[in-house]
Amino acid sequence: MNPNGAIIVQSNLEILVEIHNPNYESARDAIAPFTELVKSPEHLHTYRISHLSLWNAAATGLTAKDIEERLESQSKYPIPVSVLTEIEDYMGRYGLLQLRFENGQLILSSEDPVAFMEISQLKEITPFIEKKLSSTSAIVNAERRGHIKMALTLAGFPVEDLAGYTVGDPLPLKLRETTLSGNPFELRHYQKEAAQIFYASGSEKGGSGVIVLPCGSGKTVIGMATMALIQTKTLILTPNVSASRQWIRELLDKTTLTEDQVKEYSGEVKEIGPVTIATYQILTQRKRTPKKTDDNEEKEEPKELSYFPLFSAQHWGLMIYDEVHLLPAPVFRLSAEMQATRRIGLTATLVREDGKETEVFSLIGPKKYDIPWRVLESQGWIAKAECNEIRIPMNAELKMKYALASVREKITIASTNPEKTDIVKRLLGYYAKETDRILIIGQYIEQLTALSEELNIPLITGKTPNKERDVLYDAFRKGKLKNLMISKVGNFAIDLPDANVLIQISGTFGSRQEEAQRLGRVLRPKSDGGEAHFYSIVTQDSKEQEFAMNRQLFLTEQGYAYKILKRGDWDVLSRTPEEMQQIHSIK
């Protein structure tokens, strides 16, 4: 017990954290590796300990004793015994079971005969057991390796997979010391550490897992460092074509790979090479074939996923899942069937809005490495960020329309509030220096299109051809274009290092991952060492404001505090004519 402690641990595995306590930051950082932030009102934040959060913590090397010590050092009151028991029980389950290959057979085993007997008799597990070998081991179906891991995790007994991996076709490559563009290049300490922890000297202890680091910290570089360690044919999966082409640029710029070795496989280009970069979308496409109905009419019937065989037939030694939190559910099937291939997931957040974190844990691997965002910020590896929520009112007419609308209509009405245009104009005027680069991002295409036309700012949406996107992104990077507007296609995997202001005019309901990704668009270190500024414009006293509280959870957990600006605070977004003249005189 600690009278100055900032946390209160409750028997339901929730932890209350006092925001105004002097020890708040150290307490938050202490519990972050094994908890998840549930809600963050003004005075007390609520975190939750879950079985999955404990298993991910165990995978990074934390023990039950480590967690107990962290809780006791930060807690105002004694820790409930039931909480300590739960932590010890579930942390002890990670690694209680192991998968290994012996004499060409996949063996499930445990050192605890009682536990093994109980688990092997579970109805979810028995279909996979082919033959009992002893009281502590059994032969299981090798072709169902991923399905076994998923079933055991869902049953509450995550297995440690030590069955090893296929070697894959060899692919010699090195990281360059000087990039093709002429800049010196070397791995940052955490990039080297993350790659080495994943690789684990080539042993079966490594080879599958997720690296969790903020946008702008160089996760792509970690992927390349992993490739340089493993030296094998590699399949890289990305969320869109822009991300694929960014990977291609980075690989050619920072490794010894050549253009004939790095190929794109997408809806536009279908080539396979020793390194192939494919989109998630191409893997989830289904071929449809006509089928006669009873009325002798032709009806299209969906077939199997078109491109799974194409990729599973290749002898990959490594798969890289970029933005793994966006992995579509059908691709989990591919992952379940390719458990003998080394797999690394790269993401800024393990949060998935579809609740499939368990699938990522079981099929891609547990969390192997992460660093709090604010730690990297303090070391200068990502830009310092200021987060603001600007709350705007509804006029009388809109209030009436909002009051009479359905729940879904209320969200749209609040999100597309016309008053937001004035705030965007104020921000564009406020950030008017030659070096400012402003991204405006939103969810509703009509809203974005109208704003784009009114402000004469180019807009990129899902319908914008990739060639046109590349031209606009390139112009923005080179400073020829100061402002750019993007729909949700800009949530991830676009490299715009000089963007220093992001204005969010609408979002996808309460998506925590989207908020994190959008802040990430402006977190890359600035050439002038300047700060990043994130503005989320929401309609006050509306469903949108409620969603905004949930959207901010992950970033609050990382240590970012949102400054709330209401109508009386908007003067800070206005400049005098003299200030404007001074800004425009800066070259």
In three-state secondary structure terms, 327 is coil
Which amino acid belongs to residue 122? L
Domain boundaries, given as residue ranges, for the chain:
7-93, 97-161, 189-371, 377-585
Res 188 pLDDT > 50: yes
Number of alpha carbons in the 13 Å side-chain half-sphere of residue 123 = 0
pLDDT, position 38: 87
- Of 497 and 557, the structure prediction assigns the larger pLDDT to 557
User: 460 Cβ partners below 8 Å, 6+ apart?
Assistant: 468, 469, 472, 473, 484, 485, 486, 487, 489, 490
**More confident call, 510 vs 404:** 404
Residues 490-544 have pLDDT tens digits of 876 577 778 999 999 998 887 888 888 888 888 888 877 889 999 999 999 999 9
Nearest to 109 by CA among 123, 121, 95, 122: 95
Whether 286 has a pLDDT exceeding 80, the answer reads: no
Domain 189-371: CATH class, spelled out: alpha beta
Query: Mind listing the pLDDT tens digit for each residue in 5-53?
Result: 999 999 999 999 999 999 999 999 999 999 998 888 778 899 999 999 9
C-alpha 420/C-alpha 544 separation (Å) is: 13
Confidence of residue 179 (pLDDT cuts 50, 70, 90): very high
Q: What is the pTM of this model?
A: 0.87
Share of the chain above pLDDT 90, in %: 64
For residues 218-242, average pLDDT: 94
- Residue whose token pair is 């002893």: 134
DSSP at 175: B
Q: What is the mean pLDDT of the chain?
A: 89
DSSP state of 561: -
Q: Whats the size of the chain, residue-wise? A: 587
Our measurement of the distance from residue 101's CA atom to the centroid of its chain's CA atoms, rounded to an integer in Å, reads 32
Name which of 185-194, 499-508, 576-585 the model is least confident about: 576-585
**Angle at the Cα of 87 from the Cα atoms of 84 and 88, rounded to 5 degrees:** 85
Handedness of CA 95, 101, 105, 106 (dihedral sign): positive
Pick from 129-138, 306-315, 477-486: least confident: 306-315
Does 86 have pLDDT greater than 50? Answer: yes
Q: Is the pLDDT of residue 291 over 60?
A: no
Instruction: Give the mean model confidence (pLDDT) for residues 336-355.
Output: 87
Residue carrying structure tokens 């400012």: 436
Joined together, the tokens standing for residue 247 give 């990977």
Question: Which runs of E-coded beta strand occur in 239-381?
Answer: 262-265, 275-279, 286-292, 298-305, 318-322, 342-347, 367-370
Assign a CATH topology to domain 377-585. Answer: Rossmann fold (3.40.50)
Task: Sort residue 239 into left (φ over 0), alpha (ψ -120 to 50) or beta.
Answer: alpha
Mean pLDDT value of segment 240-259:
94
Q: What is the pLDDT of residue 439?
A: 95
Matching fold, domains 97-161 and 377-585: no
97-161 adopts what CATH topology? Answer: Alpha-Beta Plaits (3.30.70)
Q: Per-residue pLDDT averaged across 297-303, rounded?
A: 52
Integer Cα distance of 442 and 486 in angstroms: 7
Calpha distance 119→262 (Å, rounded): 45
Residue 293 has pLDDT above 80, yes or no: no
In sequence order, the β-bridge partners of residue 439 are 484, 502
Average pLDDT on 455-467 reads: 92
